Chains A and B, each alone.
Chain A
Amino acid sequence: MTTETQPARPLLDVRSASISFKQQHGAMVHAVRSVSFAVGAGETVALVGESGSGKSSLARLVLCLTRPDSGEIHLAGERIDHLSNRELRTRRLLMQPVFQDASAAFNPRRTVMQSLEQALRCSATPPVDMRPAVEELLEQVRLFPASRLLNRFSHELSGGQRQRLGIARALAVNPRLIVADEPLSGADVSIRGQILDLLIEIQESRGIAYLFITHDMTLARAFAHRVLVMYKGEIVEQGTTEQIFAEPKNEYTKILVKAAASIDDVAA
Chain B
Amino acid sequence: MAWISGGFVVLLCMVAVLAPLLLSPDAPFQISNSVLLAPSAGHWFGTDDLGRDVLLQVIWGTRISLIVGIVSALAAGIIGLVVGAISGYCGGLADAMIMRTTEIFQVMPIFVLAALIVAMAGAGETRIIAVIAGLSWPQTARVVRSEVLRIKGLGYAEAARCLGISEFRILVFEIIPNAVGPVIAVSTLTAAFAILLEAALSFFGLTSSDTISWGSTLSTGQRLLYTAWWLSVFPGTLIFLTALAFNMFGDCVREALDPRSE
Contacts and interface: CB of A to CB of B under 8 A. Distances in A.
A157 interface: no
Interface residues of A, number: 28
Given A92-B162, A173-B163, A106 B155 contact: yes
B166 interface: yes
Nearest to B163: A122
B165 A104 contact: no
Contact of B167 (A85, A104, A122): A85
B44 interface: no
B178 A109 contact: yes
How many interface residues does chain B have, given as a range? Answer: 10 to 19
Interface in A161-205: 169, 173
Contacts of B165: 118, 122
A105 B158 CA distance: 8
Contacts of A65: 158, 161-162
B100 interface: no
A97 to B, nearest CB: 5
Contact of B162 (A63, A101, A153): A63
Contact of B155 (A92, A105, A119, A173): A105
A105 B159 contact: yes
Interface in B139-170: 154-156, 158-167
A9 interface: no
Given A108-B259, A109-B259, A155-B260, A101 B163 contact: no
B160 A118 contact: yes
Contacts of B159: 97, 99, 105-106, 169
Interface in A1-16: none
Given A65-B161, A97-B158, A107 B174 contact: yes
B177 interface: yes
Nearest to A95: B162
Given A85-B161, A101-B155, 15 more contacts: A65-B158, A65-B161, A85-B167, A88-B164, A92-B163, A92-B164, A95-B162, A96-B163, A97-B158, A99-B158, A105-B159, A106-B155, A109-B259, A122-B165, A155-B259
